[in-house]
Amino acid sequence: MFICTSASLPQISCKKMFFLLLAVSSLSLFLHNRGRFIWTIKSFKWASNTSCSLPSAATKPKHMSIAFLKTHKTASSTMQNILFRFAEHHNLTVALPQRPCDHQFCYPSSFNSKFVHPYTLPAHIITSHMRFNHSEVQRIMPNDTIYITILREPASMFESLFSYYNQYCPSFKRVPDSSLETFLKEPWRYFRPTEKDSMFARNALTYDLGGDNNHRASDKAYVKDFIANIERIFSLVMISEYFDESLVLLRHLFSWELEDVLYINLNMRTPSSRRSLQQGLPARIRIWNALDTQLYNHFNASLWRQLDALGPDCVAREVQLLREARDRLVRGCFGGPQPQPRPANQIKDKVLRPWQPSSKVTIMGYDLPLNASYLGAKPGSESRDRCLKLIMPEVQYSQRLLQIQSLRYRRRLSDVLRRKLGRAP
């Protein structure tokens, strides 16, 4: 419900504020769905013979040098898992954080190449949380690295941030009733730009991308230059709400096979941990996160232009193939059409228990069925190891890769020393 008081809005009338919120909400809704609306109309006009086959491995091999900027609460953990599995399958090295940084590159500090564990260099892929610093990433990644990232609609993302970091971010924690509605009525009453973890409370996407999340959104020159810089560096900006369509573009960009992009949704909250956004709240969130809103609107439209260039029929067919292949993989791993998400305390295997941010929010994970070790003997089933990695949470998978790569590093170093000793006079 829209609530207006003279105390909270001393410089603008309630009627004007109401129409402002209505206009922003309507415009954002149109921009959010404009690409799909136009694209859907075109799909009825286009013939169904559009060709969208990927180049064969003989003519264009898979691209393997990738930097994925993992943004917060955007389905980025699911994308990271895709990259982790791809790296392990192809024996690639993933740049991982030093132990003092935990499983992130000392976030929220700006990324520095010193944050990378030496046993995980030279790297082919980098995908853990960081505050983006292009020049520092370039120092450790190959020259042919392709940069990608992912964004999410600001209203739904902010609701997720508020829930997830409610006990960590002081701007959220000091709200007396832990209410998103209360925070949005008077955000400056609770928000402190310079305090710890404040980036989660305003324009988190802008911050993760290396920008000034507290810059004036009305500064058109700043916003224009910031967007232009992102476009210059990132070959693909995925959109969380259109994850499968984004994967179609990613496959074409990297010349990957369908099997390389199969996934199960990770790091999801229980329904009880989610808050429904009452009428008027999405508009308030977009105004408060105006920089992120402009980023999202721009790159959402950009995504649909790229899909349009590929052809609606082509994209629709590839999305269908992706979902059919994913369903087959899930059935092979779990014996049914969809695994049942469980709270961490109900997951028997510790390796599969996701990290829990606080007692006020529950992050779901998955357990392999009791007979999973026998599924590999059945026609059409998957190996236990592949199924395990498909649902392995970020922290545990990062530890797994660090262990594997550390062993590989030591063996390589040992081989070098043996060769030197063997040639010594």
What average pLDDT does the structure give for the chain? 87
Digit-coded pLDDT (tens) for 145-170: 999 999 999 999 999 999 999 988 99
- Residues present in the chain in total: 425
What does the pLDDT average to over 95-121?
97
The pLDDT > 70 percentage for the chain reads 82
pLDDT band at 30 (very low <50, low <70, confident <90, very high): low
Task: Round to whole Å and give the CA distance between 142 and 152.
Answer: 28
Q: At what angle do helices 312-334 and 243-254 cross, to 10 degrees?
A: 100
Digit-coded pLDDT (tens) for 156-211: 999 999 999 998 899 999 999 889 999 999 999 999 999 999 999 999 999 999 99
Residue 1's pLDDT is 44
pTM: 0.86
pLDDT band at 82 (very low <50, low <70, confident <90, very high): very high
Digit-coded pLDDT (tens) for 361-394: 899 999 988 765 444 445 455 688 999 999 999 9
Which of 111, 122, 128 lies closest to 145 in space, CA to CA?
Answer: 122
Tally of CB atoms within 10 A around 90 = 12
| Token representation of residue 65 | 């040098």
CA angle 385, 388, 390 (to 5 degrees): 110
Digit-coded pLDDT (tens) for 401-425: 999 999 999 998 888 888 888 765 4
Element containing residue 339 per DSSP (H, E): none
Residue 270 and residue 346 in contact, taking contact as beta carbons nearer than 8 Å: no
Structural domains for the chain:
66-421 (3.40.50)
Residue 336's pLDDT is 81
Task: Quickly list H helices, 125-173.
Answer: 134-140, 154-164, 170-173
Sign of CA dihedral 188, 189, 190, 195: positive
Residue 425's pLDDT is 47
Residue 365's pLDDT is 94
Residue 85's pLDDT is 98
Which of 208, 255, 234, 216 lies closest to 299 in space, CA to CA?
Answer: 234
Residue 397's pLDDT is 98
Contacts of 207 (CB under 8 A, 6+ apart): 108, 131, 199, 213
